[in-house]
Amino acid sequence: MADLTTEFLGIKSPNPFWLASAPPTDKEYNVRRAFEAGWGGVVWKTLGSEGPPVVNVNGPRYGAIYGADRRLLGLNNIELITDRPLQTNLEEITRVKQDYPDRALIVSLMVPCDEESWKAILPMVEATGADGIELNFGCPHGMAERGMGSAVGQVPEYIQMVTEWCKQYYSKPVIVKLTPNITDIRNPARAAFAGNADAVSLINTINSITSVDLDALAPQPTIDGKGTHGGYCGPAVKPIALNMVAEIARDPATAGKPISAIGGVTTWRDAAEFMVMGAGNVQVCTAAMTYGFKVVQEMISGLSQWMDEKGYAATSDFIGQAVPNVTDWQYLNLNYVAKAKIDQDACIKCGRCYAACEDTSHQAIWMKEGRVFEVNDAECVACNLCVDVCPVEECISMVPMAPGAVDPRTGKVVEAGYANWTTHPNNPAAQAAE
Amino acid sequence: MANGHQASGIVAARLPAADIADNFSDLHPAYAPHEAAVAADRCYFCYDAPCMTACPTDIDIPQFIREIQAGHPESAARTILGQNILGGMCARVCPTETLCEEVCVRETAEGKPVEIGRLQRYATDALMAKGEHPFTRAEPTGKRVAVVGAGPAGLSCAHRLAMLGHDVTVCEARKKPGGLNEFGIAAYKSTNDFAAREADWLLKIGGITLETGKALGDGVTLDGLKADHDAVFLSIGLGGVNALRASGEDLPGVRDAVDFIEELRQADDLAALPVGRNVVVIGGGMTAVDAAVQSKLLGAENVTIAYRRSRDAMPASRFEQDLAASRGVKLMFNVMPVAILGDGAVTGVELEYTTVEEGRVRGTGERLTLAADQLFKAIGQTLDGAPDGVALEGGKIAVTGAGRTSVAGVWAGGDCASGGDDLTVTAVAEGRDAAMDIHAALTS
Ligand SMILES: Cc1cc2nc3c(=O)[nH]c(=O)nc-3n(C[C@H](O)[C@H](O)[C@H](O)COP(=O)(O)OP(=O)(O)OC[C@H]3O[C@@H](n4cnc5c(N)ncnc54)[C@H](O)[C@@H]3O)c2cc1C
Ligand SMILES: Cc1cc2nc3c(=O)[nH]c(=O)nc-3n(C[C@H](O)[C@H](O)[C@H](O)COP(=O)(O)O)c2cc1C
Ligand code: SF4
Ligand code: SF4
Ligand code: SF4
C-alpha cells in the first residue's frame, strides 16, 4: 500500500486530506470525530477578534443545486465565521492538538485590517500549539461588508500587508486563503508570496444565488421574504478551482510555491487531479457536509490504489506532474488533427451525438438506415461535443490522424511537426518561422 | 372463515377478503414524486426517439418525460393526452414490453428500459387528480356523427370529433361505457374503478351524448344511423367467442374466459366470486393469462394454462407469461384439448401433445389428463353483429386508410376492424385517426 503521509510546509499529516475551515471544523466535538474518522488535518473554523462573536441568521443558511436523484452538486451558504467566543475556541484547539499530535491543525483567522488586531490575536493562537494559520481573505458575504474576508482578498496590497504582519508576529507557517471572486487569481497569489506567505490555499466560495423561489419571488435560501448572495462550493466549483490552482502553479512568479487546493473535492480522483496540478494537499468541506466524515475513507483507499497502480511510493512523486502540460491556447499544436469515431458495438443508437452535431455543430454525423450513426470525416472538426453528450462512456473516441494522411475536411496533408498560432499564416501578429 | 385452496368444486371466499384485496392491488403501483424524478432522469431524450415510433399513438415520449423532469407532470399529461386521450388507461394496460419499452435504447443497452408506462401514469394521474379536462371544443360545425360502441376506439373517436366541433352520439349496448377497459382488462391493471372515472373525465369535453343500453341491430340500424348523421363510426369490438370443438364443451364448469373476467370486473365483492380448485385455461393470449392469474389470485389451488403451440408462438408476451408463472400459474405448451371429461359437471380435461409442422398444429397421439373443476375457454374472440352490407375481411370489418369501410360515410376501428393489433392503444389510435378522416371528409 502506498504511503499517503504528506508533508506540507513541514507539517506532517497521515494523508493529504484536510477538512477546510467551515462547519465541519467548528468545534472540538467535530474535530475529534473527524480525526477519529481518519482526516489527516483540519483548518479550524475561522476565528475573529476577541469580544462579542458574530451572529448568524436563524433562518436557512444553505441553498443547493442538484443532479439526477437529488445528488447534491453545488451548495451555497450565507454563514459567517465562528459565532462562538474566541477563548472557547482557543481552549478547544489547545486540547485537540495535544491529543492528536500526528494530525495537522491549522487555525483560520479573520480580524479587521489593522496591525493592532493581528498583533493581538496572533500570540494567543501561537499559544495553542496549532501547526499554522490560514488567513481567510475569501469569505464573500457578511464579513466582506465589514471590510474583511474577500474585501481584503480582492486588494493585493492588503493581502501583502496583512501577510507581512502575520509573518512578523507569528512564528509558524502562514497560509493565505484566496477568494475566487476576482478576475485574475495570479495577482493575489503573487501578493501573498511577496508578503512572505508560506503557501496559498484556494478557493474559498464563489459569489452566487442558487435559485429563486418563484412563489415568493425571492432568492433562496429565503429569510423572511428576502435573500442574499452567498458562497458557492461543492462539485460544481471544482473546474474553476482547478484552473485557478493551475494558473498559480504555472505562473513564473509563483511556480513551485506550496498550494493547498480546495473546491469540490469529493473523491480520491478530485484530490489526485488537484495534486498533479500542483497542490501539496487538498481541503474538503462540502463532501463532508453532504456525506459525513466517513467520506475520507474512500479518498484514502482510492488514492492509495491509484498510487499503487501508477507505482508512486509517496505523494511527492506526483505532486505538480501535470503542470508542464498546462499551456496557453496559442501554444497548442495546430498540426494535430483528430476525428471522432463511433464504436458501433458500444453505440445504443440514442442519436444524441447526431442532434448535437447536426443542430449545433458541424453537421458531421450521418444518421443512416436503421439508426446507424457514423462520423463524416470530411466535416468533423474534432470538437468533442459528441463525446461529451454520448451517454455511453468510451463509445465515441477522438482518433488522431497519422502524419502523412490527408484530412478529408481540409484536403491538407497532416504534418508531423509542431506548429502553433504564433506562427500561423492567418495570425496577423505571426512571427515568421525561423 | 375462508374456504381455503383445497375446498373442492367452484366456491367463493377461498381466501380471507384482505388477502384478496391485496392480491388485486395495482400491478404497477403509482410512482411517488421522487421515484418519478429518478425514473424520468434515466431518459436520454433520444433524437427521433425509437420509443415514440413504437407507440401506436405516437406520443412524444422524450418530450413528456422531460416535462416531468422539469417539474410539470400536468404539461406532460397534455403532451400525452393530445395524442392519446386514454393515455391514463394505456399507461396501465399497454404491453409496454412489446411496444415503447421494448425499443427504448436503455432496454437494448442494459436490459432496463426507461419505465415509460409508469411515467405516463404519473403524468396523467397528476392531471386527472386536478379534476380538470385539458381540452376545449372548437366552434360548432353543425355536423352530427354516430359512434357505435363505447370502448377505447369509440371513446377516442368521439372525443376527437367533439373537440373538432362536431356533435357526437355514442350508442353503447351495455349499461356502462368503457368496453373492455371496463369489462375485460385485468382487475389489477385498472384499480379503483379507473375505467369508469376515465370515461367520465373524457366526456367532460362536452358535445358527446352517450346512450347506453342501446345496441345496433336491436332497434337501431345502420341505415337509420346514416340517415340521422353525417357519418358513422363502428367500434363494436369482438363480441363473440370461438368454440373449442371438443366433446364435453357444454358441461357445467366450462365457461368463456371473457364472461368470467367480466363478472369479476363487475363484482362488488371479489370474495363472493366463486372459483374452482383445479382451473384449466385453454388458450395463449392475454385473455388466457388474465383468467388464469385472476383465478389464482382468488385462491384456486392449481391453475394451468394449456396452449397448443410453443412458448415462442404464444401471443401473451414474455412479461405476461412470467407474471402468470410468478403468481403460481403453470404454463403448458404444445398441448391441445381433445375431450372435456365429466358427468354432470366438468372433472377434467384430456389433452394431446402437439407438434407444429409448416404452421399447422398436429396431435402426436400422446395424451394426458388434468383434473379440472373449472375450465375457461380463451381461444379468441370473434366479430359478432356486424351490420349487413358492410364488407368483411378475415372475419373483421374490412377497412382501408383511416378506417374507411366499404360503405360510404361509414368508418370502423378497434378490434372489430381489419388490420392492427387487438390492443387498447391500437383501438385508441384507430379511433383518433378515423375521427381526423371523418373531420376531413365533413369539412372539405
Ligand atoms: C380479457 C382481456 C384482457 C385484455 N388485456 C389487455 C391489456 O392488458 N392491454 C391491452 O392493450 N389490451 C388488452 N386487451 C385488448 C383490448 O381490451 C381491446 O383491444 C380493446 O378494448 C379494443 O377496443 P374496442 O373499442 O375496439 O372494443 P371493445 O373494448 O370491445 O369495445 C366495444 C364496445 O362496443 C359495444 N358494442 C358491441 N356491440 C355493440 C352493438 N351492436 N351496439 C352497440 N354497442 C356495441 C360493447 O359493449 C363495447 O362497449 C384485452 C382484451 C381482453 C378480452
Ligand atoms: C457553510 C460554510 C461555511 C464556511 N465557512 C468558512 C469559514 O469560516 N472560513 C473559510 O475560510 N472558509 C469557509 N468556507 C469555505 C470552505 O472552507 C471551502 O473553501 C469551500 O467550501 C470550498 O470547498 P468545498 O467545495 O470542498 O466545499 C465555508 C463553506 C461553507 C459551505
Ligand atoms: S441539519 Fe440539523 S440544524 Fe440544520 S436544519 Fe436540519 S436539523 Fe436543523
Ligand atoms: S450519442 Fe453515443 S450512443 Fe448515442 S447514437 Fe451517438 S454514438 Fe451512439
Ligand atoms: S428510447 Fe428510452 S431513453 Fe430514448 S427517448 Fe425513449 S424513453 Fe427516453
Which residue lies with its CA nearest to atom 8 of ligand 5?
B43
Residue-level pLDDT at B169: 98
Q: What is the mean pLDDT of chain B?
A: 96
User: What is the C-alpha to C-alpha distance for residues A203 and A262, in angstroms, rounded to an integer?
Assistant: 5
Chain B CB within 8 Å of residue A391 CB: yes
Atom of ligand 1 nearest to the CA of B384: 38
Residue B247 Cα to ligand 1 middle (Å): 29
What does residue B361 show for φ and ψ, rounded to 5 degrees?
-85, 130
Q: What is the CATH number of the domain that holds B59?
A: 1.10.1060.10
CA atoms within 13 A on the CB side of B413: 32
Residues of B in contact with A351 (CB under 8 A): 46-49
Mutate to test the interface with B, among A66, A348, A352, A388 (most CBs of B within 10 A): A348
Greatest alpha-carbon pair distance for chain A in Å reads 77
Closest residue of chain B to A355, computed from CA coordinates = B47
Chain A CB within 8 Å of residue B46 CB: yes
Residue-level pLDDT at B145: 98
pLDDT tens profile B119-134: 999 999 999 999 889 9
Does A86 score more than 90 pLDDT? yes
Mutate to test the interface with A, among B51, B61, B63, B105 (most CBs of A within 10 A): B105
Give the relative orientation of helices B286-298 and B257-266 as an angle to the nearest 10 degrees: 50
For residue B51, which ligand has an atom nearest its CA? 5
Q: Where exactly are the structural domains of chain A? A: 6-325, 331-423
Q: Is A262 in the pocket of ligand 2 (CB under 6 A)?
A: yes
pTM as predicted: 0.92
B162 CB burial (10 A radius; 0-12, 13-18, 19+): buried
Residue-level pLDDT at B245: 86
pLDDT tens profile B219-249: 999 999 999 999 999 999 999 998 888 899 9
- Report the first-to-last Cα separation within chain B, whole angstroms: 67
Residue A190 Cα to ligand 3 middle (Å): 40
User: Of A1 and B283, which is predicted with more confidence?
Assistant: B283
Residue B79 Cα to ligand 5 middle (Å): 15
Does B373 score more than 60 pLDDT? yes
- Please check whether residues B348 and B338 belong to one and the same domain: yes
Which residue lies with its CA nearest to atom 8 of ligand 4?
A347
- Please check whether residues B367 and B252 belong to one and the same domain: yes
Strands A259-262 and A281-284: parallel
Q: Which residues contact A68 (CB under 8 A, 6 or more apart)?
A: B38, B41
Residue-level pLDDT at A146: 73
Nearest residue, CB atoms, B46 vs list A69, A70, A350:
A350
Residue-level pLDDT at A393: 95
Chain A CB within 8 Å of residue B106 CB: yes
Task: Tell me which residue of B20, B145, B122 sits closest to B74, measured CA to CA.
Answer: B122
pLDDT tens profile B149-169: 999 999 999 999 999 999 999
Strands A218-220 and A230-233: unpaired
Strands B330-332 and B302-306: parallel
Amino acid residing at B33? P
Q: Which of A341, A392, A398, A399 to mutate to test the pocket of ligand 4 (most atoms within 8 A of CB)?
A: A392
- Please check whether residues B347 and B421 belong to one and the same domain: no
Instruction: Please tell me the total count of domains within chain B.
Output: 3
Does B28 score more than 80 pLDDT? yes
- Report the first-to-last Cα separation within chain A, whole angstroms: 51
Residue-level pLDDT at A140: 67
Q: Is A17 in the pocket of ligand 4 (CB under 6 A)?
A: no
Nearest residue, CB atoms, B105 vs list A70, A349, A367:
A349
Residue B134 domain flag: no
Provide mean pLDDT across the span A355-366: 97
Residue A285 Cα to ligand 2 middle (Å): 6
pLDDT-derived band at A431 (thresholds 50, 70, 90) equals low
Residue-level pLDDT at A346: 96
Residues of B in contact with A349 (CB under 8 A): 50, 105, 108
- Please check whether residues B168 and B215 belong to one and the same domain: yes
For residue B64, which ligand has an atom nearest its CA? 5
Does A434 score more than 90 pLDDT? no
- Please check whether residues B277 and B344 belong to one and the same domain: yes
- Please check whether residues B331 and B426 belong to one and the same domain: no
User: What is the C-alpha to C-alpha distance for residues B349 and B251, in angstroms, rounded to an integer?
Assistant: 11
pLDDT-derived band at A224 (thresholds 50, 70, 90) equals very high
pLDDT tens profile A301-348: 999 999 999 999 999 999 999 999 999 999 999 999 999 999 999 999
pLDDT-derived band at B214 (thresholds 50, 70, 90) equals very high
pLDDT-derived band at A148 (thresholds 50, 70, 90) equals confident
Provide mean pLDDT across the span B361-390: 96
Residue B100 domain flag: yes
Q: Is A202 in the pocket of ligand 2 (CB under 6 A)?
A: no
User: What is the C-alpha to C-alpha distance for residues B244 and B416, in angstroms, rounded to an integer?
Assistant: 21
Atom of ligand 5 nearest to the CA of B105: 1
Does A57 score more than 60 pLDDT? yes
User: What is the C-alpha to C-alpha distance for residues A44 and B57, in angstroms, rounded to an integer?
Assistant: 62
User: What is the C-alpha to C-alpha distance for residues B165 and B393, in angstroms, rounded to an integer?
Assistant: 33
Chain A CB within 8 Å of residue B108 CB: yes
- Please check whether residues B356 and B281 belong to one and the same domain: yes
Q: What is the mean pLDDT of chain A?
A: 95
The separation between CA B266 and the C-alpha centre of its own chain, rounded to angstroms, equals 15
Q: What's the grid cell of residue B108?
A: 437494448
Q: Which residues contact B46 (CB under 8 A, 6 or more apart)?
A: A350, A351, A352, B62, B105
Q: What's the grid cell of residue B9?
A: 368444486
Answer whether A351 sits within 8 Å of B109, measured CB to CB. Answer: no
pLDDT-derived band at B444 (thresholds 50, 70, 90) equals confident
User: What is the C-alpha to C-alpha distance for residues B207 and B169, in angstroms, rounded to an integer?
Assistant: 8
CB-CB neighbours of B165 under 10 Å: 17
Residue-level pLDDT at A150: 74
User: What is the C-alpha to C-alpha distance for residues A198 and B97, in angstroms, rounded to an integer?
Assistant: 64
Does A433 score more than 60 pLDDT? no
- Please check whether residues B110 and B151 belong to one and the same domain: no
Q: What angle is formed at CA B112 by the lines to CA B109 and CA B118, rounded to 5 degrees?
A: 135
Q: Is A22 in the pocket of ligand 2 (CB under 6 A)?
A: yes
Residue-level pLDDT at B24: 95
Q: What is the CATH number of the domain that holds B410?
A: 3.50.50.60
Chain A CB within 8 Å of residue B47 CB: yes
Q: Which H helix or E strand runs over A132?
A: strand A132-136
User: Of B131 and B373, which is predicted with more confidence?
Assistant: B373
Structural domain ending residue among the three candidates B100, B129, B158:
B129
Nearest residue, CB atoms, A348 vs list B38, B41, B108:
B108
Which residue lies with its CA nearest to atom 6 of ligand 4?
A353
Residue B237 Cα to ligand 1 middle (Å): 5
Residue B181 Cα to ligand 1 middle (Å): 7
Provide mean pLDDT across the span B13-29: 94
Q: What angle is formed at CA B208 by the lines to CA B203 and CA B210, rounded to 5 degrees?
A: 85
Provide mean pLDDT across the span B302-311: 97
Residue-level pLDDT at A139: 65
Structural domain ending residue among the three candidates B75, B103, B129:
B129
Residues of B in contact with A348 (CB under 8 A): 105-106, 108-109
Residue B188 Cα to ligand 1 middle (Å): 17
Which residue lies with its CA nearest to atom 12 of ligand 2?
A21
Does A288 score more than 70 pLDDT? yes
Answer whether A351 sits within 8 Å of B37, measured CB to CB. Answer: no
- Please check whether residues B229 and B118 belong to one and the same domain: no
3-class SS string, chain B? CCCCCCCCCCECCCCCHHHHHHHCCCCCCCCCHHHHHHHHHCCCCCCCCHHHHHCCCCCCHHHHHHHHHCCCHHHHHHHHHHHCCCHHHHHHHCCHHHCHHHHCHHHHHHCCCCCHHHHHHHHHHHHHHCCCCCCCCCCCCCCEEEEECCCHHHHHHHHHHHHCCCEEEEEECCCCCCCHHHHCCCCCCCCCCHHHHHHHHHHCCCCEEEEECCCECCCECHHHHHHHCCEEEECCCCCEECCCCCECCCCCCEEEHHHHHHHHHHCCCHHHCCECCEEEEEECCHHHHHHHHHHHHHCCCEEEEECCCCHHHCCCCHHHHHHHHHCCCEEECCEEEEEEEECCCEEEEEEEEEEEECCEEEEEEEEEEEECCEEEEECCEECCCCCCCCCEECCEECCECCCECCCCCEEECHHHECCCCCCHHHHHHHHHHHHHHHHHHHHC
User: Active site includes A380?
Assistant: no
CATH, domain A331-423, list 3.40.50.1820, 3.30.1330.40, 3.40.50.1980, 3.30.70.20: 3.30.70.20
Residue-level pLDDT at B137: 98
Q: Which of A73, A233, A266 to mutate to test the pocket of ligand 2 (most atoms within 8 A of CB)?
A: A233
User: What is the C-alpha to C-alpha distance for residues B264 and B292, in angstroms, rounded to an integer?
Assistant: 12
Using alpha carbons, list the distances in angstroms from residue A76 to A152, B169, B412.
21, 60, 61
Q: Is A38 in the pocket of ligand 4 (CB under 6 A)?
A: no
Q: Which H helix or E strand runs over A358?
A: helix A352-360
User: What is the C-alpha to C-alpha distance for residues A343 and A347, in angstroms, rounded to an integer?
Assistant: 6
DSSP letter (8 states) at residue A253: T
Q: How far is B27 from chain A (nearest CA, A)?
A: 24
Q: Which residues contact B191 (CB under 8 A, 6 or more apart)?
A: B24, B25, B26
Task: Tell me which residue of A185, A215, A213 sits closest to A201, measured CA to CA.
Answer: A185
User: What is the C-alpha to C-alpha distance for residues A341 and A356, in angstroms, rounded to an integer?
Assistant: 15
Give the relative orientation of helices B116-129 and B194-203 as an angle to the nearest 10 degrees: 60
Residue B423 domain flag: yes
- Please check whether residues B309 and B416 belong to one and the same domain: no
Does A6 score more than 80 pLDDT? yes
Amino acid residing at B38? V
Residues of B in contact with A371 (CB under 8 A): 48, 50
Closest residue of chain A to B69, computed from CA coordinates = A68
User: Of A148 and B87, which is predicted with more confidence?
Assistant: B87
pLDDT-derived band at B69 (thresholds 50, 70, 90) equals very high
Chain A CB within 8 Å of residue B103 CB: no
Chain A CB within 8 Å of residue B32 CB: no
Residue B135 domain flag: no
The CATH H-level (homologous superfamily) assignment of domain A6-325 is Aldolase class I (3.20.20.70)
Give residue B262's domain range: 17-23+241-380
User: What is the C-alpha to C-alpha distance for residues A78 and A59, in angstroms, rounded to an integer?
Assistant: 10
3-class SS string, A26-57? CCHHHHHHHHHHCCCEEEEEEECCCCCCCCCC
- Please check whether residues B171 and B223 belong to one and the same domain: yes
- Please check whether residues B96 and B161 belong to one and the same domain: no
Residue-level pLDDT at A432: 58
User: What is the C-alpha to C-alpha distance for residues B344 and A257, in angstroms, rounded to an integer?
Assistant: 100
Residue-level pLDDT at B128: 96
